[in-house]
């Protein structure tokens, strides 16, 4: 089984400035889309869409946007209803 996604080191680097993170351009563009879709009023403008098209085809953009939207929507649902994992404790 091939594992996809960011390593823990890459996640830590992505928390700061994406420009100095050392991540590849394709990953940075995807992370910027994640930030956009998680915003209170998400909107992908022409410039951002053009940047996405430099790294992804239309099918990949759709797949990425749907996956990110599902994830951010699920997170908003969890927060809105105050749902906590079974083993969560406020330590």
Rounded distance between C-alpha atoms, residue 53 and residue 47, angstroms: 10
| Contact indicator for 29, 51 with CB cutoff of 8 Å | yes
Q: Say what the pLDDT of residue 90 is.
A: 66
**Length of the chain counted residue by residue:** 91
Give me the pLDDT at residue 91, please: 60
Q: Is the pLDDT of residue 9 over 90?
A: no
- % of the chain beyond a pLDDT of 90: 56
Q: Is residue 61's pLDDT more than 90?
A: yes
Q: Is 0.85 topped by the overall pTM?
A: no
Q: What is the pLDDT of residue 88?
A: 65
């Amino acid at each position: 089984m091939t594992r996809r996604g960011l390593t823990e080191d890459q996640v830590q680097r992505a928390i700061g400035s994406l420009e100095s993170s050392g991540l590849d351009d394709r990953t940075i563009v995807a992370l910027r889309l994640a930030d956009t879709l998680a915003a209170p009023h998400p909107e992908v403008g022409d410039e951002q869409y053009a940047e996405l098209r430099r790294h992804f085809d239309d099918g990949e953009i759709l797949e990425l946007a749907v996956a990110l939207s599902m994830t951010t929507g699920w997170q908003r649902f969890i927060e809105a209803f105050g749902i906590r994992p079974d083993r969560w404790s406020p330590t």
